[in-house]
Chains A and B, each alone.
Chain A
Amino acid sequence: MNIIVCIKQVPDTSEVRIDPETNTIVREGVPSIINPFDENAIEEALLLREQHGGKVTVISMGPPQAEAALRESLAMGADEAILVSDRCFAASDTLATSYVLSTAIRAIGEYDLIFCGKQAFDGDTAQVPPGIAEQLGIPQITFTIGLEVDGRKVRGRRMLESEFEVVEVRMPALVSVVKQINEPRRPGIKAKLAAKKKEVTIWDSACMDIEPCLCGLDGSPTRVVRTFAPTREIKGEKFEGEPAECAAAVIDRLIGQKII
């Protein structure tokens, strides 16, 4: 089975700082990691390879330093790593990113499954995995918490906000995973040292059949007008007086709002 995993390198912090001038993420001084959900995607690909044999190729679109994330995936056990990197990819939105990644996947050639994390830790859009599937014209199962493979059939259990949904598709297909699907392995020191010596292939736009007008700023219809952290304004209500009176008042209010 040929499996491709798309990963993204993200800053290692849940409190991402935004540059108010450029509305982009501040990367300076923040250590970078593999997007946590993408680690689950790699793990799921490795588990499938262990069961069915085959090859796991990990790709990432990003600046040259994203090579570190790809090396980490090699340490986890991926067979090959490709960094898709070109100055003209900079400032790509989710549409342009999906375009570049799907073009790279076409250039890789044969594949049965594509795995992605459900969304990136920094941008949180969850738009790139469906975007890739659409660009490639293949079925997709997003937010997958459980996966069964039977011949060419792939059955995924999707974790939605209030229910599960089971979807069956035929390969080739794209699957995006949630963190509850598995526990990513922690590579040993030997694997980490060996991964340092492995090759990470680097592809720029010339290596692939890329239309410059479809990537980077030109290929991005999205304009980020402003980025800000939402302020939480939940006002509490205080009931004062004797405990029994307060309790009665609270009950009345809850009944009045049809909560109980």
Chain B
Amino acid sequence: MDFRFTEDEQMIIDAVRELGEEELAPHASEVAEKGEFPYDAVELCREMDLFGIPVEEQWGGLGMGFLMWGTVGELLSYYCQTTGSVFGAHVLGQYPIMAFGTDEQKEKYLAPLTTGEHIGAFGLTEPNAGSDAGSVATRAELHGDRYILNGTKIFISNGGVAQTYVIIANLDPRKGTRGLTAFIVEKGMPGFEFGKDEKKMGWDALPNRELIFQDCEVPVENVLYKPGRGFRVAMDTLGVGRIGMAVGAVGLAQAAFDAAILYAQQREQFGQKIAEFQAIQFMLADMATDIEASRLLYQKAAWLKDQGEAFEMIASMAKVYSSEAVNRVTSQAVQIHGGVGYTCDFPVERYMRDAKLFEIVEGTSEIQRGIISNRLLREHRI
């Protein structure tokens, strides 16, 4: 066991910290307030090669694994939550091609996603296929050398902005999850349009859009993995996505904690700094403990993934724990700020609104507990 980063990893961390402090943090609140996609921040990340961290060098990546990817993602989320969320959603379109793509698919789609020339997105969720991901109603029908896609996806992160989408559609609804198939769909393919961009409680600058497929023709070579094996692609991608959610939650929680511990040492009441009250001190201690535990969980999940070992249960643990932790931490950060914490003059109110999403996306807390307990009962069957 060794918790230290290598010299190369530390160099990357320092470079991302510098980028975050100088370029991302100063605009984080403005980006969120305006609700406009952070193209400038994405361009800066692209210039720094941040979109290629876990991808093999052959496809233009750094080949540094998901632990490093998570570490960088946490920092981006810490400095600018929107940029962190774009970074996280991007990999959902990138990872399935990296894990399941053919060399031709990797050359055509993975390479530009790795340089950051293209942004990626992943389309699974539908109005009637949320937690029940198997009941995808988007249809795919084979006509000669093309599949025809019909249906609607909703809430798709990076939707509209992304060039490359991995879309889960059903070849044969009678087969349920065994009909599911993953397709690589390009922005601009005829019959692929964007619908409503959701107005949300938080994350105003992250697009969560409707994807509409109306007789959208996708060439057969764009099937990812195998026809009928899309559920496997989706579940694998969601596993990585859950690490990503934990990463984002930790970055956000750390931002809230840092704001709170700073404020607690500045604000005076009853003739002393509020950080001198034990009530505040204990809150800070609980917040830091929550963050540390969340970070260790995502690091372990990412480490297991990098070792090629089963990581799904730990990823679910990281996701459920960190998403609930970030809600506690951001709420306490607002509490420590008191009245001003509830105003828009301080970022902690936004942090608290943003935090709620983590308990819902990429599998709700309830779904995570289901995954964890299923796994536990299978392992401990008597």
Q: List A residues at the B interface (Cβ < 8 Å).
A: 186, 188-190, 192-193, 196
Q: What are 14 A-B residue pairs whose CB atoms fall within 8 Å in the complex? A: A186-B19, A186-B44, A186-B47, A188-B47, A188-B48, A189-B15, A189-B48, A189-B49, A190-B49, A190-B62, A192-B15, A193-B8, A193-B11, A196-B8
A22 smallest CB distance to B (angstroms): 30
Could you tell me the distance between the alpha carbons of A188 and B50 in the complex, rounded to whole angstroms? Answer: 8
The residues of A that contact B47 with a CB separation of less than 8 Å are 186, 188
CB-CB under 8 A for A188 and B49, given A193-B8, A196-B8: yes
With both beta carbons as reference points, the residue of chain B lying nearest to A193 in the complex is identified as B8
Could you tell me the distance between the alpha carbons of A93 and B21 in the complex, rounded to whole angstroms? Answer: 35
The residues of B that contact A192 with a CB separation of less than 8 Å are 11-12, 15
Could you tell me the distance between the alpha carbons of A73 and B50 in the complex, rounded to whole angstroms? Answer: 20
B145 smallest CB distance to A (angstroms): 38
Could you tell me the distance between the alpha carbons of A193 and B15 in the complex, rounded to whole angstroms? Answer: 11
Could you tell me the distance between the alpha carbons of A186 and B62 in the complex, rounded to whole angstroms? Answer: 18
Could you tell me the distance between the alpha carbons of A196 and B8 in the complex, rounded to whole angstroms? Answer: 9
With both beta carbons as reference points, the residue of chain A lying nearest to B53 in the complex is identified as A189
Could you tell me the distance between the alpha carbons of A193 and B11 in the complex, rounded to whole angstroms? Answer: 9
Which of B8, B48, B50 gathers the greatest number of chain A CB atoms within 10 Å? B48
Q: List B residues at the A interface (Cβ < 8 Å).
A: 8, 11-12, 15, 19, 44, 47-50, 62
Could you tell me the distance between the alpha carbons of A24 and B120 in the complex, rounded to whole angstroms? Answer: 53
The residues of A that contact B11 with a CB separation of less than 8 Å are 189, 192-193, 196
* Interface of B: prevailing SS: helix
Could you tell me the distance between the alpha carbons of A20 and B23 in the complex, rounded to whole angstroms? Answer: 37
Could you tell me the distance between the alpha carbons of A196 and B47 in the complex, rounded to whole angstroms? Answer: 19
Could you tell me the distance between the alpha carbons of A192 and B49 in the complex, rounded to whole angstroms? Answer: 10
Could you tell me the distance between the alpha carbons of A196 and B10 in the complex, rounded to whole angstroms? Answer: 13
Could you tell me the distance between the alpha carbons of A186 and B48 in the complex, rounded to whole angstroms? Answer: 7
With both beta carbons as reference points, the residue of chain B lying nearest to A189 in the complex is identified as B49
* CB pair B19 A189 closer than 8 Å: no
The residues of A that contact B50 with a CB separation of less than 8 Å are 189
Could you tell me the distance between the alpha carbons of A22 and B15 in the complex, rounded to whole angstroms? Answer: 34
B379 smallest CB distance to A (angstroms): 39
Could you tell me the distance between the alpha carbons of A45 and B8 in the complex, rounded to whole angstroms? Answer: 27
Could you tell me the distance between the alpha carbons of A192 and B62 in the complex, rounded to whole angstroms? Answer: 12
Could you tell me the distance between the alpha carbons of A186 and B19 in the complex, rounded to whole angstroms? Answer: 9
Given contacts A186-B48, A188-B47, A190-B62, 8 further A-B contacts (CB under 8 A): A188-B48, A189-B11, A189-B49, A189-B50, A189-B62, A190-B49, A193-B8, A193-B11
With both beta carbons as reference points, the residue of chain A lying nearest to B16 in the complex is identified as A189
A-B interface, 3 closest residue pairs, ranked by CB to CB distance from nearest: A188-B49, A189-B49, A190-B49
A72 smallest CB distance to B (angstroms): 10
The residues of B that contact A188 with a CB separation of less than 8 Å are 47-49
The residues of A that contact B19 with a CB separation of less than 8 Å are 186
The residues of A that contact B8 with a CB separation of less than 8 Å are 193, 196
The residues of B that contact A196 with a CB separation of less than 8 Å are 8, 11
Could you tell me the distance between the alpha carbons of A192 and B12 in the complex, rounded to whole angstroms? Answer: 9
The residues of B that contact A189 with a CB separation of less than 8 Å are 11-12, 15, 48-50, 62
Could you tell me the distance between the alpha carbons of A188 and B44 in the complex, rounded to whole angstroms? Answer: 9
The residues of B that contact A186 with a CB separation of less than 8 Å are 19, 44, 47-48
Could you tell me the distance between the alpha carbons of A196 and B15 in the complex, rounded to whole angstroms? Answer: 14
Could you tell me the distance between the alpha carbons of A189 and B11 in the complex, rounded to whole angstroms? Answer: 8
With both beta carbons as reference points, the residue of chain B lying nearest to A191 in the complex is identified as B49
The residues of A that contact B12 with a CB separation of less than 8 Å are 189, 192
B50 smallest CB distance to A (angstroms): 7
Which of A189, A190, A192 gathers the greatest number of chain B CB atoms within 10 Å? A189
